[in-house]
Structure formats: structure tokens, C-alpha cells
């Protein structure tokens, strides 16, 4: 199956999921938080998570 990854703020995750489910034929949806290790790495390296 094709796989897509979207990075959205926690505050809008439910709205984003609802929009996707309403407009596209999605068979499976998984919502995860970014691992804390990745957040720490971004802070110290200045690299964006996206």
C-alpha cells in the first residue's frame, strides 16, 4: 500500500485526521507523536524534523 507521512501540530491532529478521512479513501490511519529523541536531536543540531 502507498504510505504517506504528515507532520502536524498536536492541537490540530484530530482536525487533520478528520479532513483526510472525509476526503480520501483511507484504509488505515496511524497517529504517533515524534519520539523525544528526535525532538532533542533537533534542538541540539538545529535540523528540522521534516
Do residues 33 and 10 make contact, with C-beta atoms less than 8 angstroms apart?
yes
Per the listing, cell 532533542 goes with 40
Helix, strand, or coil here: 1? coil
From the CB of residue 32, how many other CB atoms can be counted at a distance below 10 Å? 7
pLDDT on residue 50: 58
The domain ranges of the chain are: 10-45
Question: pLDDT for 1-45, tens place per residue?
Answer: 788 999 999 999 999 999 999 999 999 999 999 899 988 988 898
pLDDT on residue 39: 85
Amino acid at each position: 500500500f502507498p504510505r504517506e507521512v504528515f507532520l502536524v501540530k498536536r492541537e490540530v491532529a484530530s482536525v487533520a485526521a478528520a479532513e483526510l478521512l472525509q476526503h480520501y479513501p483511507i484504509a488505515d490511519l496511524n497517529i504517533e507523536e515524534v519520539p523525544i529523541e528526535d525532538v532533542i536531536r533537533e534542538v541540539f543540531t538545529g535540523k528540522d524534523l521534516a
